[in-house]
Chain A
Amino acid sequence: MASAVGCKKSAPDSGGEGAHLDAPEVVIGHYASMTGSTAHFGQDTDRGVRMAIDEANAQGGVLGKKLKLVTLDTRGDSAEAANAVSRLIDVEKVSAVLGEVASSLSLAGGRVAQRRKIPMISPTSTNPKVTEIGDYIFRVCFIDPFQGKVMATFARANLKLDKVAVLKDVKNDYSIGLAAAFQKAFTELGGSIVAEQSYSQGDTDFSAQVTAIRGSGAQALFVPGYYSEVGSIARTADRLGLKIPLLGGDGWDSPDLFKIGGSAINGSYFSDHFAPDVSTDKAKAFVANFSAKYGQPPTGLGALGYEAGLVLIDAIRRAGKNDPTAIRDAIARTKDFDGVTGKITIDAQRNAEKSAVVLKVVDGKAKFETSIAP
């Protein structure tokens, strides 16, 4: 402890602190919403991350040391996310941080990681602002301007829709960004947005918004939100006789969507990172191993959590030493990494360029519909 404090004094800004180099194990932090209204995001991601770490340890670890994963709960709250990252860095002395799923939370946690110069990889935060925080923040997924375009293209070209309504969560950076991207792309493709409504995360009553949308003549409703609210919105729409498909993004990806939405969510479409039912051999092996380990198949978030873990472990190996700055440099050089959701190359903006899939909800399950490349 005393030596760590001494190190901090001699190199106040390195953040990395020599302590990492002689630590007996490589500690990796994960901050995730293990409880709360997005609990399923955190839990499934953590399973993926843990699987990547366990597999690496089974093969002897990295740099001759074992990997240790410390997961802290954010409860889906941005203040908690910032606290969790501080604690991971100060108390747990992590070399790198993984997380969060929700963009609002990655923004809060990412600012801490950047200030302390500890590399962070977000598995699934798609809002562009996340990696704009600074040069220590990465992601292994696509970003919302692309995801919005995917759904807009799909709605125009495949579903042949002209009029769409939008219902977004105004408390959520992800939802606002994705709604804007979709609206821009959809109008550029010649469609029109006939109604714009909003809600706030944690709301349970959506009847006012659905009633307003019902009068707008929309052929589909784009809801770029998270699964708990989307499920309720689908049932409210069904109850109030709004018989149009719902469209959405990767925030829908959770078995709870089907539990809450029931039959009302059938016939809806959402864009995602990964389709468990159609995939490469590598992805099939991952789905089989994951199901065997946890007794249920992964969602796209579990796959991306695993992917973020693999990219980080690969970067630590290539860095050759347990030093946050060296690990950061190695993550930045990731090129054509063969992951379960496709080849990953980290671009100059520290984002991953990948194609997206569109899934259709059939009988309470997400089925592959089509794939759209960048």
Chain B
Amino acid sequence: MTQFFQQIINGLSLGSIYALIALGYTMVYGILKLINFAHGEVFMVGAYTGLYAAGALGVAGFEAHGQSFPLYLGLIVLIVAMAAAALLGVTIELLAYRPVRSAPRLTPLITAIGVSLFLQNAGMLLFSPNPQRYPAILSEVRFELFGVIVTNIKLTIFGVALALMLGLQLFVRKTWTGRAMRALSFNIDAAKLMGIDTNHVIRSTFAIGSALAAAGGILFGLDQITINPLMGVLTGLKAFVAAVLGGIGSIPGAVIGGLLIGLAEQLTAGYLSPEYRDAITFVILILILLLKPEGLLGVVRVEKV
């Protein structure tokens, strides 16, 4: 039983990371109907920015002396990484997606795959293809509840994911930009006619989604110990499946989808066989597309012709 709860905790923390990445997929899809395949690479760049920012702030010195990295420096690392990723997301949108925005839907999709491959290889060139250990930006505190081990890292991951999701939900519901985002996702042309600066709204969407992915990247590094330039490939795909499972375009759906995928993966690895851990995600994708293509929380939108 302890083992079962341990697997649940492990699954929830992994799922929270998928959820943070899935939010970016879902936001962009909601507005542009574009699957931003480069999002997994933005997540990777975010993780590496965090690694180098922590290095520049002297994390190695703290580790060598057995001291924990001060929390305010940890927050600086997080902000730097989120800002860098936001900038990257906006640049990708400007250079790769905006020129083909009115082209048929397949064109931006292929552009997205191209950007993704470009960033993977650029990552291998810039950051070296070897796995690197993630610095202890957050020093680990471990406690045991009835034999189940919980670390502050796992709790932080879960907490940060929930907080960012709630913040995002509020942002989309309450702010002017958020309302404009929702307007765009209904009808981009009508929104333009109402005087909404669509380019600005799309830019904000990419910036926010990318910043969330960077937060996911740092949490992923802390949780998974090592990172490498191809880390965004499989993790990004799984997060995409999470977005589809939850109902693409839905913010709470992305979070629920992420948590479910994390749990499914962890329980499969723990009780069936670790060899099926990646397969289960895609089995879920096939099932959801067959049985409920709009996803758990998605809405079916009737298209008027």
Contact = CB atoms under 8 A, between A and B. Distances in A.
Interface residues of A, number: 33
Given A208-B269, A260-B133, A37 B228 contact: yes
Contact of A204 (B7, B124, B128, B225): B225
B54 interface: no
A36 interface: yes
B129 interface: yes
B274 A203 contact: yes
Interface string A260-281: 1010000000000000000000
A235 interface: yes
B44 to A, nearest CB: 12
A203 B275 CA distance: 10
Nearest to A259: B133
A215 B2 contact: yes
B149 A241 contact: yes
A39 B275 CA distance: 24
A361 to B, nearest CB: 16
Interface stretch (A178-186, A193-201, A305-313): A193-201
Given A204-B225, A207-B10, A241-B142, A212 B131 contact: no
Contacts of A207: 6, 10, 266
B142 A198 contact: no
Contacts of B142: 239, 241
A202 to B, nearest CB: 8
A262 B274 CA distance: 25
B149 A240 contact: yes
A235 B275 CA distance: 21
B128, B225, B270: most-surrounded residue (chain A CB, <10 A): B225
A198 B273 contact: yes
Given A35-B129, A241-B149, 18 more contacts: A37-B130, A37-B131, A37-B228, A39-B130, A197-B274, A198-B274, A203-B274, A207-B266, A208-B10, A208-B267, A208-B270, A209-B270, A211-B270, A212-B270, A214-B6, A256-B130, A260-B225, A260-B226
Interface string B190-202: 0000000000000
B55 to A, nearest CB: 14
B6 A239 contact: no
Contacts of A208: 7, 10, 266-267, 269-270, 274, 277
Given A241-B144, A260-B131, A198 B225 contact: no
A228 interface: yes
A205 interface: yes
Nearest to A262: B133
A39 B226 CA distance: 15
Interface string B1-43: 0110011001000100000000000000000000000000000
B175 to A, nearest CB: 36
A236 interface: yes
B67 interface: no
Nearest to A236: B225
Contacts of A40: 130
Interface in A227-249: 228, 231-232, 235-236, 239-241
B130 A35 contact: yes
B149 A198 contact: no
Contact of B226 (A75, A215, A232): A232
Interface of A: 35-37, 39-40, 75, 170, 197-200, 203-205, 207-209, 211-212, 214-215, 228, 231-232, 235-236, 239-241, 256, 259-260, 262
17 contacts: A35-B130, A36-B130, A37-B131, A39-B129, A40-B130, A204-B231, A207-B10, A208-B7, A208-B277, A209-B269, A215-B3, A231-B225, A239-B140, A239-B151, A241-B149, A256-B130, A260-B131
Contacts of A256: 130
B27 to A, nearest CB: 26
B224 interface: yes
Nearest to B2: A215
Nearest to A215: B3
Contact of A75 (B2, B129, B225, B273): B129
Interface in B119-160: 124, 128-131, 133, 140, 142, 144, 149, 151
Nearest to A234: B225
Nearest to B235: A204
Contacts of A39: 129-130
Contacts of B130: 35-37, 39-40, 228, 256
A259 B267 CA distance: 30
Contacts of A36: 129-130
Contacts of B266: 207-208
A37 B14 CA distance: 22
A236 B14 CA distance: 14
Contacts of B270: 208-209, 211-212
Contacts of A199: 274
A34 to B, nearest CB: 10
Contact of B224 (A214, A232, A259): A232
A295 B1 CA distance: 52
B226 A228 contact: yes
